[in-house]
Structure 1
Amino acid sequence: MTAVRDVAAPPRPPALPRLPRLSRLPRLPRSGRVADALACGTYLAAALLLYRGLWAGGPAGRYLVDSGQDQRQWEWFFAVTARAVAHGENPLTTTLQNHPDGVNLMANTSMPGLSIPLAPITWLFGPSATWAVVLTLGLAATAAAWYYLISRHLVASRPAAALGGAFCAFAPPMVSHANAHPNLAVLFVLPLIIDRLIRVAGGRRPIRDGVLLGLLTTYQIFLGEEALLLAATGIALFAPTYACVAPGAARAALPHLARGVGVGAALCGVLVAYPLWWQFTGPQSYTNLLHGPAGNDLAALTAYADRSLAGDIDVSARLSMNRTEENAFFGWPLLVLAVAITVALWRTALTKALAAVLVGAALFSLGPEIIVDGEATGIFGPWKLLGQLPLYESVLESRFTMVCVPVLGILLALGAQAAGRAGDRRIRLLWFVVVVQALLPLLPQPLATAPREPTPAFFADGTWRRFTGPGRAIVTVPLPDPGDARALTWQVDAGLGFPLAEGYFVGPFGPDRLGGYGAVTRATSQLLREVRDGGVVPEVSDADRAQARADLAFWRADAVVLGPHDRQEALRGTLDRLLGPGVPIGGVWLWDVRAGGAAGAG
């Protein structure tokens, strides 16, 4: 077999076998540059169309409906990181949530690789603008990066590469995470890492390429460690399969890989040593994040996602955790097409290795026990063993179908090129019809948005400053948690001028420091959550009042604030019984709990 070569490089020793006649691609002509620009422009237009509701009227006034509370959390991450940069503070930690214990930002998905360099956007236009920019440009950049990898190493046809790149960024799992999880949707660095691995294997400049590999891997760690783990698992499935079917190429590449990857790993290890130490052993670190069984239902592989053109909300709701975790939903026509492409191109080592990744990742995604249309089969999947390993125990196993996304995109590109080279027009026509049938139902609809709720004037106009001293917290009711994080937006709109009690983040629970969502609740916050959920004012005892005073002292609170809420009357009645009568001010109810405060003295 021939070798994988860089499009602009002269011939070099064989590295990774590829399809025939693709190892000596010419230097990129002007027409190729035009094609590249057209592809990237199309990807950006597609991303803008996907997020048109977010940009309409300005991101500050719109909210992605299916993001739940995650958009509030991400905007808070962007805001608090920008504040840390502006004040020269440690961007890996903060006490602005979960006061006074704080939050380990490195142990959360704060994406410092983007939140730090984009801090000027946050300063000038606010975190909602940063959120919109990250999602829109990030998704377009992800498509462009996969297009670059496919066009430079796998196919000569620019249209075929463009098709593959588009699928890699706009496939149903990607669109699902594009509602709420930029760490799993903004993946433009991963194709660049793979590109550098291929170059290292080629052996032309393994040390230089190894250094770049280390820098790219470091950057990806600051964008999303889970995505890097998923990609590394896919590479771990690809490499041994490739070595088995192309042992000669593997032996030729091994010395170069040993040198280049060794250099990259050493460099990356030095650069991330302190941040990872902080993440795993620093304040508010945790050991692992346990989710429980979260595998894909086998039926989800052939179904359609809610936001796909052929989606059915009832089906997707039944087969997924929520709209941000529709991690399969490829539709049966695409899977049949992928099998057909694999069979047609089975002679190549690349196709065989891709098939191994596709099957392996899909099996991992099914979880410890195979579920078919909601029914347990009693058949154990490979995740039962893999999920026990360090790091993997913190991953939602259903997300392993995201490893399948670029594999399917590459297979589509390979199939498109093979069909385009076919001499028989009937084959090209058949390919066009089949691809349309497979991909048209998967086309994403624009993501749903809604107007934001206005921030109460108490926070927006600075009234809060009259009731809170430096370093003292405001207790918002209900206290922020994964179910209701509106207080994070109020705090951001107040300029992050005060810390909040509790919050929405990942932190440690119990003596074993197991990771969980939100803060360790105290008795008073738990009581208020029960009122929020049930709408009933409870009997309040002297012991409850004493506990409330103790909890407020722990939080170092100067004020308790009840904002607009569906259960406002029940919550207000409970707080009146706990703290005395509150006063209305700036669109909220206030209990001034400072010594000698004007409200809440009873």
Structure 2
Amino acid sequence: MSRPRRAARRVRLARADLIVSAAYLSLAVLVLSGQWRHTDRGYLIKSGQDQTMWEWFFAVTAHNVAHLENPLGTMLQNYPDGVNMMANTAMFGVGVPLTPVTLLFGPTVTFVLVLTLGLFGTAFAWYWLFSRELVASKFAAAAGGLFCGFAPAMISHANAHPNFVVLALLPLIALQLIRMTRACGARHKRGEAERSLWSALRLPALAPRTLPERSAGQIRHSFTLGLLVALQIALGEEPLLIFALSFGVFALVYYLHTPRAGLRALLAITPTVLLAALITVALTEIPLWWQFFGPQSYRSIDHGPMNNDLEALFQFPSESLGGLVSHGQNVAINATEENSYFGWPLWIVVTVAAVLMWRERAVRAAATVTVAFTVLSLGATLMIGHRNTGIALPWQRLENVPLLNSVLESRFTMAAIPAIALILTLATQRALDYWKVSATDWRPLALFGALAFALLPLTPTILPTVQRAPTPAFFADGTVRRYVSHGSVVVTPPPTPPDARALRWQADSGFEFPLAGGYFVGPTGTSKKGRYGPDDRPTASLLLKAQQSNKIPVVDDAARAQALADLRYWRADVMVLPPTDNSDTLRLTVDQLIGFPATYVDGVWLWDVRDLVGPRDPA
């Protein structure tokens, strides 16, 4: 065939892929269209303060790259202790490549772009896996990919958590492992055939001739797998851990009825996987060392019970057509952690499909993963409608295992998403096969009706956005530079996870100053336990209490001395009171703590404390 005809043939073969990818991308844009329409001041209201945090991550990564500074840690937040960026899932895998976008268009554009490409990419990657390794029908594969990319948990995390939305590398890792296993199996069969042939001819086997080819193939597979895992580490380690556990369970059950074949496959791919692990370590050893042993590192984080309520498994997600009609009792951890919410119709359809196709090994493995990880997501004791039944569950024995103890247990249901998608994909393929045999067969129509019954209520709606207040002119216009001399800005009260607006103001100023406090994960005390936000300073706690109660606290000499000590700890240059709740109470409180009244400059009240704190080291 001529080159133009070969190109035309490729286009025809890829037509389905193009149609599917266009559909996924259109749906992703639609879901986030509210944010896309207002990239200047739009804010995903259900993100809490997480959107501000992620925008700051992307902005500070671009700032560090542009200024050739170390991106793994920064002193711009939580001054003077700083923040370990690797321990905060800063997503360097997208933050660094998208630095030009962030510098040109701002971190909000980067944030919504990452979320959009994450939904689209995750759906298309699973579609690619299903269409190449599981089923012949592109339509069946597209249905499975659609569920993987736009499942309730994915839409919920699209409000605030790019690290749980950009999951496209996980199916590619699975695809690589599947092909490695298949290649090992093919080599084993060829070896058996060669040995049988040469034994029949009573000639020595010539297997050594294949060693160079085999070694080259193993190295190629190892490098690909190692690179994919390293890239996923740069995107998010918690999703990788959940995926690795679920894939291991899937493989174990898949080979359960043929243990010899499973053991042979495991032994065959082990050298290739070990080499891939070495490649991954070589690519990530410096970032991982920084994460676990560098400045402001921590060993684990105590997040308390974060399990799914049993009712959440059967309800419809809030951002869906079903949720608009029947949203049920609110039993989610928060709006960004609706990690189950599959809806009762889907469970009925998946259960019936799994029973009807139980003979298929992939279905048995997928069903086991679904049940096992759903049970794990329920936590240590069973909760039903916010009521603790006291019934002990398997997570009780695992919640103190290193690495697992930092995972939010409700997120384990995300392992069920591709498993459920696999069952739906195989069921759709079987229905299409019936349809090919007989156009009047009732079973395909029944299945498609069941799919519509299960999936239509889960159709995502547009994520709601609001307009956030503009950055105070004091920061946006650069006035802050006149008040900073190698020290920090102390916002009143200092930023914390419940109110992290100051991070955006700092980014809008061009990172002209470091901030006391902030929204991040860092160690507390000397225990190496992680916590959200900085260690509590007495003055920060006093100001926060005054704001919440709207009452000026008693300010004595001890409180003034403590305020001076805290300002020296923060190496403060200026205290700033922007427009906020109960600002008059805060202003009068700081006046008494500092000993002189505030000055109103460019939309904020400020106290220049450089003379009060004294000289400092320019470093």
Alpha-carbon distance in structure 1 between the residues aligned to 2:327 and 2:321: 14
User: 2:72–2:85: 8 Å Cα contact kept in structure 1?
Assistant: yes
Is residue 588 from structure 1 mapped to residue 604 from structure 2 by the alignment? yes
Matching residue's letter, 1:42: A
Is residue 296 from structure 1 mapped to residue 311 from structure 2 by the alignment? no
Alpha-carbon distance in structure 2 between the residues aligned to 1:294 and 1:255: 38
SS in 2 for 1:319: coil
User: 2:98–2:110: 8 Å Cα contact kept in structure 1?
Assistant: yes
- 2:464 maps to 448
Unaligned runs of 5+ in 2: 1-8, 185-216, 614-619
SS in 2 for 1:90: coil
- TM-score, with normalisation over the residues of structure 1? 0.92
Q: Deviations over 1:349-388 (max 9, x none)?
A: 1111111111111111010111122222222111111222
Give the total of aligned pairs: 568
Say which of 442, 447, 454 aligns to 1:438.
454
Unaligned runs of 5+ in 1: 1-27, 598-602
User: 1:202–1:256: 8 Å Cα contact kept in structure 2?
Assistant: no
Name which of structure 1's ranges 267-276 and 240-249 shifts more when overlaid on structure 2. Answer: 240-249
Alpha-carbon distance in structure 2 between the residues aligned to 1:325 and 1:313: 20
Query: C-alpha displacement at 1:256, in angstroms?
Result: 3.0
- 2:29 maps to 48
Query: C-alpha displacement at 1:292, in angstroms?
Result: 1.4
Query: C-alpha displacement at 1:47, in angstroms?
Result: 0.5
Is residue 468 from structure 1 mapped to residue 484 from structure 2 by the alignment? yes
Query: C-alpha displacement at 1:165, in angstroms?
Result: 0.5
- TM-score, with normalisation over the residues of structure 2? 0.90
Aligned pairs (5 A) from 1:173-572: 173-203=153-183, 205-311=217-323, 318-422=330-434, 423=438, 424-469=440-485, 471-572=486-587
Q: Deviations over 1:231-277 (max 9, x none)?
A: 01101211211121233542442233212211111111222222111
User: 1:199–1:206: 8 Å Cα contact kept in structure 2?
Assistant: no
Is residue 35 from structure 1 mapped to residue 50 from structure 2 by the alignment? no
User: 1:306–1:313: 8 Å Cα contact kept in structure 2?
Assistant: no
User: 1:78–1:122: 8 Å Cα contact kept in structure 2?
Assistant: yes
Alpha-carbon distance in structure 2 between the residues aligned to 1:505 and 1:69: 11
Residue 243 and residue 96 in structure 1: after superposition, are their counterparts in 2 closer, same or farther (change >3 A)? same
User: 1:98–1:501: 8 Å Cα contact kept in structure 2?
Assistant: yes
SS in 2 for 1:475: strand
Aligned pairs (5 A) from 1:3-82: 30-57=11-38, 59-82=39-62
- 1:8 maps to none
Alpha-carbon distance in structure 1 between the residues aligned to 2:127 and 2:175: 11
Aligned pairs (5 A) from 1:165-180: 165-180=145-160
Q: Deviations over 1:570-592 (max 9, x none)?
A: 11111111122001111110111
User: 1:363–1:382: 8 Å Cα contact kept in structure 2?
Assistant: yes
Query: C-alpha displacement at 1:464, in angstroms?
Result: 0.5
User: 2:367–2:420: 8 Å Cα contact kept in structure 1?
Assistant: no
Alpha-carbon distance in structure 2 between the residues aligned to 1:101 and 1:511: 13
User: 1:206–1:256: 8 Å Cα contact kept in structure 2?
Assistant: no
SS in 1 for 2:358: coil
Alpha-carbon distance in structure 2 between the residues aligned to 1:338 and 1:60: 42
Alpha-carbon distance in structure 2 between the residues aligned to 1:534 and 1:563: 18
Residue 97 and residue 314 in structure 1: after superposition, are their counterparts in 2 closer, same or farther (change >3 A)? farther
Matching residue's letter, 2:430: A
Alpha-carbon distance in structure 2 between the residues aligned to 1:316 and 1:151: 36
Say which of 53, 64, 73 aligns to 1:84.
64
Residue 280 and residue 596 in structure 1: after superposition, are their counterparts in 2 closer, same or farther (change >3 A)? closer
Query: C-alpha displacement at 1:317, in angstroms?
Result: 6.2
User: 1:316–1:326: 8 Å Cα contact kept in structure 2?
Assistant: no
Alpha-carbon distance in structure 2 between the residues aligned to 1:73 and 1:358: 32
Matching residue's letter, 2:43: Y
Alpha-carbon distance in structure 2 between the residues aligned to 1:440 and 1:247: 40
Residue 313 and residue 487 in structure 1: after superposition, are their counterparts in 2 closer, same or farther (change >3 A)? farther
User: 1:143–1:166: 8 Å Cα contact kept in structure 2?
Assistant: yes
Alpha-carbon distance in structure 1 between the residues aligned to 2:179 and 2:268: 9
Q: Deviations over 1:195-252 (max 9, x none)?
A: 1000111126333112100110001001000000110110121121112123354244
Q: CA RMSD in A?
A: 1.5
User: 1:32–1:158: 8 Å Cα contact kept in structure 2?
Assistant: no
User: 2:316–2:326: 8 Å Cα contact kept in structure 1?
Assistant: no
User: 2:79–2:570: 8 Å Cα contact kept in structure 1?
Assistant: yes
Alpha-carbon distance in structure 2 between the residues aligned to 1:317 and 1:520: 35
Q: Deviations over 1:180-207 (max 9, x none)?
A: 0000111011011001000111126333
Q: Deviations over 1:315-336 (max 9, x none)?
A: 5663111100111100111011
Structure possessing the higher radius of gyration over alpha carbons:
2
**Identity between Structure 1 and Structure 2 (%):** 49
Alpha-carbon distance in structure 2 between the residues aligned to 1:254 and 1:511: 42
Name which of structure 1's ranges 219-228 and 199-208 shifts more when overlaid on structure 2. Answer: 199-208
Name which of structure 1's ranges 67-76 and 266-275 shifts more when overlaid on structure 2. Answer: 266-275
Q: Deviations over 1:113-155 (max 9, x none)?
A: 1111111111111111111111111211111111111111011
- 2:188 maps to none
